[in-house]
């Protein structure tokens, strides 16, 4: 009987691994799965002992030792699924609504300032959003990673004609997403990045796009992009009012 059980266990191992892989279990859940497997065999052995008076032919005995643990395992997994329903997860949808950019020169060092407006809609469980990273991709294949900045209370974005767009730190996206975005809710705000090896003229080329990545409270990653066919702003005439965000236009002095 022991040899039959060992043979059945070996033949069933592949089936169990298939179940585990199809369920997509994590390491912790995987250990729970194998615990259920052990319980299934214990219960199967117990049932065989209870029915020890039944003299089954060898073929039916082998079938029993394969089919019975599998059925018991499925029953245990079903009970666990009912008792522990899957945890609801957030589903964030980010959109870059526009990008304002300008060259900044300080102490002879010129950097590109990029300030995207981002809205995040949540159609799942309530969650925060964090770790926003911005990359700019040029048509020649080069990719540049922005250095995220803490937005000051008042930030002036200068334009070539001497005017400037003034935005405010109270509208920082980080401040809007530090509290969970509720199901069906939207958060909108600004982010600020500096690029040391880019200039504003390069963003005006056709085929340039920027990509924003972020994480939700469960560590799931999301990405969204905006091409130069979208609202890339480099002058006061191109600016527009954005609902929920405060801004001012500083005109050049005469």
Rg for the chain (alpha carbons), in Å? 30
What's residue 58's pLDDT? 64
CB-based contacts of 120, cutoff 8 Å, min separation 6:
92, 93, 94, 95, 129, 173, 177, 181, 186, 187, 188, 214
Taken in order of first residue, the domains within the chain and their CATH numbers are 2-83 (no CATH), 92-250 (2.60.40)
Question: pLDDT (tens digit, 9 = 90+) per residue, 12-23?
Answer: 555 555 555 545
Arithmetic mean of pLDDT over the chain = 78
Residue 50's pLDDT band, with cuts at 50, 70 and 90, is very low
Q: Which helix (H) or strand (E) holds 98?
A: strand 92-106
Q: What value does the mean pLDDT take over residues 37-61?
A: 57
Question: pLDDT (tens digit, 9 = 90+) per residue, 97-141?
Answer: 889 999 998 778 899 999 999 999 999 999 999 999 999 999 989
Structural tokens at position 186: 């939207």
Question: pLDDT (tens digit, 9 = 90+) per residue, 170-182?
Answer: 999 999 999 999 9
Q: What value does the mean pLDDT take over residues 173-197?
A: 95
What's residue 27's pLDDT? 44
Whether residue 146 has pLDDT greater than 50:
yes
Structural tokens at position 182: 């509720």
Question: pLDDT (tens digit, 9 = 90+) per residue, 70-92?
Answer: 666 666 566 666 556 556 789 99
Contact (Cβ atoms closer than 8 angstroms) between residue 204 and residue 234: yes
Higher pLDDT pick, 6 / 185: 185
Cα–Cα distance, 100 to 245 (Å, whole number): 14
Structural tokens at position 192: 């600020």
Higher pLDDT pick, 233 / 117: 117
DSSP assignment of 143-199 equals: EEE-EEE---SEEEEE-TTS-EEEEEGGGBHHHHHSSPBPTT-EEEEE-EEEESS--
Residue 206's pLDDT band, with cuts at 50, 70 and 90, is confident
Cα–Cα distance, 34 to 12 (Å, whole number): 13
**Owner of token pair 């052990």:** 38
Task: Tally Cβ neighbours within 10 Å of residue 21.
Answer: 10
pTM of structure: 0.66
Whether residue 228 has pLDDT greater than 60:
no
Calculate helix-pair angle for 58-83, 2-23, nearest 10 degrees.
30
Residue 28's pLDDT band, with cuts at 50, 70 and 90, is very low
What's residue 145's pLDDT? 96
Whether residue 149 has pLDDT greater than 90:
yes
166 DSSP β-pair partners: 156, 248
């Amino acid at each position: 009987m022991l040899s039959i059980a060992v043979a059945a266990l070996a033949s069933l191992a592949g089936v169990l691994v298939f179940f585990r892989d199809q369920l997509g279990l994590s390491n912790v859940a995987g250990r729970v799965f194998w615990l259920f497997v052990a319980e299934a065999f214990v219960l199967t052995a117990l049932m065989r002992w209870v029915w020890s008076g039944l003299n089954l032919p060898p073929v039916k005995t082998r079938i029993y030792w394969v089919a019975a643990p599998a059925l018991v395992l499925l029953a245990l997994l079903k009970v666990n699924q009912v008792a522990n329903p899957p945890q609801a997860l957030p589903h964030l949808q980010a959109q870059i609504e526009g990008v304002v950019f300008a060259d900044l020169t300080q102490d002879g060092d010129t950097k590109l300032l990029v300030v995207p407006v981002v809205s995040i809609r949540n159609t799942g469980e309530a969650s925060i959003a964090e770790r926003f990273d911005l990359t700019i991709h040029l048509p020649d294949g080069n990719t540049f990673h922005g250095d995220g900045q803490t937005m000051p209370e008042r930030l002036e974005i200068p334009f070539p004609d001497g005017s400037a767009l003034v935005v405010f730190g109270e509208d920082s996206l980080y401040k809007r997403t530090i509290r969970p975005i509720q199901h069906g809710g939207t958060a909108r705000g600004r982010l600020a990045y500096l690029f040391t090896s880019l200039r504003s003229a390069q963003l005006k080329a056709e085929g340039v796009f920027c990509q924003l990545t972020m994480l939700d409270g469960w560590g799931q990653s999301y990405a969204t992009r905006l091409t130069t066919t979208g609202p890339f702003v480099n002058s006061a005439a191109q600016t527009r009012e954005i609902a929920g965000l405060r801004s001012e236009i500083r005109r050049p002095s005469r």
